[in-house]
Structure 1
Amino acid sequence: MKPFSEYMNEWLYGPQGYYARFKAIGKEGDFYTAVSTSRFFGATIAHHLVETVKEARLSPHTWLVEIGAHQGYLLGDMIEWIAQEAPELLETMRFGIVERFEALREVQKEHFKTRFGDAVTLHHFVHPAEVGAKEAFVVANEIFDAFPCDLVYKGKTALVDEKNHRIRFEGHDEQALAIARKYGQEKGEVARGYETFAAAMARLAKKLYFVSFDYGEKEARTDFSIRIYKGHEVYPLFEEGLDLASLFGQSDITYDVNFSHVMDAFEAAGFETAGYKTQLRALTEFGLPDLLEQLAKLGNQSLYLRELNKVKILIDPQIMGERFKMVAFQKGLG
């Protein structure tokens, strides 16, 4: 029997884990993300970065770093927008991806080579602290829901029998239970590793702005949200008759983020919470309407309508707009 967090870690990050090998995202994969929905997601964040540089909160020599980049689409979309809005920054900025898996690093290198040729140099790091920059703008999409979690229920934590993948609430992990008590949880998921990650992020750069998008709420849930995505179908972990053995490592497993836990971890590591908003509000404030207006002025009506329909998925309150949240942290920006 092992703690559920160890079981989930192997499911996602073990030698044959789901994220250890390249998996398609979008129509051909198991789920959609904001990145796979529209390039305007990355373009809008890039516009926010350009504004941050114009305001002199970060200099033109800042690093742009993505964490959990998958194929590298988000970072690529951001670089493409920077090339349009502020091409001079491509001469001064540096670009990097934090990626622990060699197989994914190779996929990212190939994507950038195909997309940019020799025009953009991509740097890779295994750990955030390896960057060691003077200043950085860091972006991540849907990473906090991919941290292994423990499951708590009435003062007990979940253990998993590796032979039959059965889950029993017979454990007593005091660290997990202490976190659960802090956020008033008797039943639900307790993420493990936020504190370690925040401490590593604090070493990424002396001056740092970090923005991330994920699904969840500011308060902990009072029920289990943990679920499995396979072929765009959603399976609650405790669904009767679910064959965990066949899904192990072959599907994504995730849960709703408790953003209060994320904020507490980063503030304890020396960050200031710079913002917490719905994806709808964040993208709007970052300048998405202005970007769409620029596209409309190009005069290609069919292109505009096609991209507008994609963007609606990002901001529709019934789809991604309200369910997904943006959280931002800063250190040394004043």
Structure 2
Amino acid sequence: MKKEKFSDYFNNWLYSENGYYSNYKTIGKQGDFFTSVSTSSFFGGSIGKKIVDTIKKGNLPKDTTILEIGAHHGYLLADIIQFIYTLEPELLNTLNFAIVERFENLQTQQKTYLKESFGDAINLTHYKDISEVVLPHAFIVANEIFDAFACELVYTKDEQLNMAYVKNHKISFEPCIDENIINHCKKYKIEKGEVGVGYEEFAKTIYKNIDKFFFLTFDYGDRVPRNDFSTRIYYKHEVFPIFEEKLKLEDYYLKADITYDVYFKHLSDCFEDLNIKNITFKTQVQALIEFGITELLELYKQNVDENSYLRESQKVKTLIEPTGMGDRFKMLLIEK
């Protein structure tokens, strides 16, 4: 195996022909990790309510496109659609739905699941890449995608910025010669950690191709750099920091999820640099409560038995608990 930048190794790990994301993976108790989507349908329900409220306020038209990027099985989009139907059923007659998914086998699974869930009640389009999406208006949803963008690993020693390379699944650091990485680390005062790759191109693409949009994303991370490595491997609900002693990357390569904390200041700056001013950053608990998750739970309580309500309220509590997902996950909402 030849020496390659860590970002290339990361991309191959997740997106090559046999990469971790090339085939459907179970999320939740039987998989490698939990997400907000696998925790409660009220996560998608809250987003559905936000979409309905946005349209009701006249900020998007009734025939807008709801676009999900990285839909996995299609559960989140299905939850969004179900709650839109519950809150404002006539919108399903005018809204369009779309998914960006590069792998055809996953497209097939998403189509099958949404067909089984809604029949012909929704209009669904698939795109293989975000660059193919050209629309007059859209509400874009991306849950935990930026932690799956490739990253470079950087480390400063004796005032020299070094960058990670991989050969035979072994990581080594060499003096960084990439001016973009050097300038990024100077700008954000990063001496050690990850530099997300591709954020700028993504922001430019949707800015150029979609005339008016709301872009909503949730991920783990923060607006301040950690100045430490957060890259880690998830395998069967165990977490392995990438530089853990005795960890052998070849044991997990292509078989487990690899991820890192998102630096939200970098991400929001990618949109600010395009002269977008309406950018909101919140914790997940703040965002979901603002979107109306407690109101939805109260509506649910009126229509089910007490045990069903208590089970669901416990799941919602997991989503918004400050000591757990509520603060660990952050939201960015961007309006063009």
Determine if the TM-score, normalized by the shorter chain, exceeds 0.5. Answer: yes
Identity of aligned residues (%): 50
Equivalent position to 2:309, from 304, 307, 316: 304
Q: Is the 8 A contact 1:215 1:257 kept in 2?
A: yes
The residue matched to 2:63 in structure 1 has which SS? coil
Counterpart in the other structure of 2:68? 66
Equivalent position to 1:224, from 221, 229, 233: 229
The residue matched to 1:234 in structure 2 has which SS? strand
Unaligned runs of 5+ in 1: none
**How far has the Cα of 1:330 moved from its partner?**
0.9
Q: Is the 8 A contact 1:35 1:73 kept in 2?
A: yes
Unaligned runs of 5+ in 2: none
**Considering only aligned residues, what root-mean-square deviation do their CA atoms show, in Å?**
1.1
Distance 2:73 2:304 in 1: 32
Counterpart in the other structure of 2:164? 158
Counterpart in the other structure of 1:130? 132
Counterpart in the other structure of 1:145? 147
Distance 2:90 2:314 in 1: 31
Say if 1:275 and 1:176 are closer, same or farther in 2 by CA, change over 3 A.
same
Listed one character per residue, the Cα deviations across residues 129-173 of structure 1 (whole Å, up to 9, x for unaligned) are 322111100101001111100000010000111x2x110111423
Equivalent position to 2:19, from 8, 17, 20: 17
Amino acid in structure 1 at the alignment position of 2:55: V
Amino acid in structure 1 at the alignment position of 2:18: Q
Distance 1:231 1:295 in 2: 32
The residue matched to 1:260 in structure 2 has which SS? helix
Tell me the TM-score normalised to structure 2 length.
Answer: 0.96
Say if 1:300 and 1:204 are closer, same or farther in 2 by CA, change over 3 A.
farther
Distance 1:204 1:83 in 2: 28
Q: Is the 8 A contact 2:13 2:20 kept in 1?
A: yes
Distance 1:272 1:206 in 2: 15
Counterpart in the other structure of 2:5? 3
Q: Greater CA deviation, 241-250 or 176-185? A: 176-185
Distance 1:124 1:272 in 2: 30
Q: Is the 8 A contact 1:7 1:160 kept in 2?
A: yes
The residue matched to 2:33 in structure 1 has which SS? coil
Q: Is the 8 A contact 1:214 1:325 kept in 2?
A: yes
Q: Is the 8 A contact 1:159 1:171 kept in 2?
A: no
Distance 2:63 2:275 in 1: 23
Equivalent position to 2:120, from 107, 118, 131: 118
Counterpart in the other structure of 1:86? 88
Q: Is the 8 A contact 1:195 1:269 kept in 2?
A: no
Distance 2:62 2:309 in 1: 31
Listed one character per residue, the Cα deviations across residues 111-132 of structure 1 (whole Å, up to 9, x for unaligned) are 1122112222311011223221
Amino acid in structure 2 at the alignment position of 1:131: V
Equivalent position to 1:271, from 273, 276, 279: 276
Counterpart in the other structure of 2:171? 167
Q: Is the 8 A contact 1:147 1:191 kept in 2?
A: yes
1:328 aligns with 2:328: no
Counterpart in the other structure of 1:180? 185
Q: Is the 8 A contact 1:30 1:251 kept in 2?
A: yes
Amino acid in structure 1 at the alignment position of 2:191: E
Distance 2:259 2:52 in 1: 32
Q: Greater CA deviation, 322-331 or 124-133? A: 124-133
Listed one character per residue, the Cα deviations across residues 306-327 of structure 1 (whole Å, up to 9, x for unaligned) are 1001001100011100010010
Listed one character per residue, the Cα deviations across residues 232-255 of structure 1 (whole Å, up to 9, x for unaligned) are 000000011111012111111111
Q: Is the 8 A contact 2:93 2:122 kept in 1?
A: no
> For this pair of structures, how many residues does the alignment match?
329
Counterpart in the other structure of 2:256? 251
